[in-house]
Amino acid sequence: MSRMIFVNLPVRDLPKSMAFYKALGFVNNPHFTDETAACMVVEEGSIHVMLLTHAKWASFTKRPIPPTNSSEVALALSCDSRGAVDAMNDAAAAHGGASDINARQDLGFMYNRSFADPDGHVWEPMWMDPAAIPKG
């Protein structure tokens, strides 16, 4: 059986967050969406982002939601090309996110940028050419 990942993120404004992730190319799965949560599919059958209202989040854990200016995790997501990395970062900036919150990284064989969604969750779209990795 192949593994799947469901990234759970607390969000202040569910419709706004759904629109943000839709602008990045994620697709809503209405089967797992209601007024408290939305399932946004990154890669069918393997990667999903669950957007949870703060009230819904509180039903999963009693741990506090970190402030939007902190980083609890950075979610790296592979892209097909450098252009796709740039396009995702540009779409994030155009739809309520913050672009290039960390310095761009270009190692030749790997390229990445970073953005924060409207709730401060950090994403790192990245492209890598495994054949070009320097031999160590």
66, burial (CB in 10 Å: exposed 0-12, middle 13-18, buried 19+): middle
Residue-range definition of the domain harbouring residue 96? 74-126
- What radius of gyration, in Å, describes the C-alpha atoms of the chain? 16
pTM score, two decimals? 0.90
111 shares its domain with 89:
yes
Q: List the CATH number of the domain containing 106.
A: 3.10.180.10
pLDDT digits (tens, 9 = 90+) for 86-132: 999 999 999 999 999 999 999 999 999 999 999 999 999 999 998 88
48 shares its domain with 100:
no
Select from 61, 91, 111 the last residue of a domain: 61
What's the token pair of residue 13?
A: 């404004």
Cβ proximity of 95 and 23 under 8 Å: yes
How far apart are the C-alpha atoms of 32 and 49, rounded to whole Å?
11
String of DSSP letters for 72-109 = S-EEEEE-SSHHHHHHHHHHHHHTT-EE-SS--EE-SS
